[in-house]
Amino acid sequence: MTNFKHDEDQGRYQVEVAPNQWAHLDYSAQGEVLAITHTFVPDELRGQGCGKVLMETVLKDMEASGKKVKPICSYAVVYLQRQTQWQHLLAN
């Protein structure tokens, strides 16, 4: 299991994508819908699949929590278009 932290007060998930290296995803909650507003992967880890690890970890937690997703961040939009297994989480 990937290490992650979820700070609901700040609207942020943090995911350990490499030893002592954390990526994060920011969102704004609109009831049961979490609008993904920003994703961040450390510069030195970009292009190594860390964004995918971030998204999959967060989406699994959102799914388990019964949340829906509204992608606003460009990375989240493209990721969810390409990864059709998560389409059921998209908010109408």
Q: What is the pLDDT of residues 25-56, one digit of tens each?
A: 999 999 999 999 999 999 999 999 999 999 99
pLDDT of residue 2: 76
Q: What are the Cα distances from residue 48, in Å, to 29, 59, 64?
A: 29, 19, 26
**CA-to-CA distance for 43 and 36, rounded, in angstroms?**
20
Q: Chain-wide mean pLDDT for the chain? A: 95
Tell me the per-residue pLDDT of 49-88, one tens digit each, with 9 for 90 and over: 999 999 999 999 999 999 999 999 999 999 999 999 999 9
What is the count of structural domains for the chain?
1
Determine whether 82 is exposed, middle or buried from the number of CB atoms within 10 Å of its CB (0-12, 13-18, 19+). exposed
The boundaries of the domain holding residue 35 are 4-89
Which backbone phi and psi does 45 adopt, to 5 degrees? Answer: -110, 0
With cut-offs at 50, 70 and 90, classify the pLDDT of residue 1.
Answer: low
Tokens of 26: 């920011």
pTM (predicted TM-score)? 0.92
pLDDT of residue 31: 93
Those residues with Cβ within 8 angstroms of residue 90's Cβ, 6 or more apart along the chain or in another chain: 68, 69, 70, 71, 80
Tell me the CATH number at 58: 3.40.630.30
**CA-to-CA distance for 55 and 80, rounded, in angstroms?**
9
Tokens of 70: 């509204």
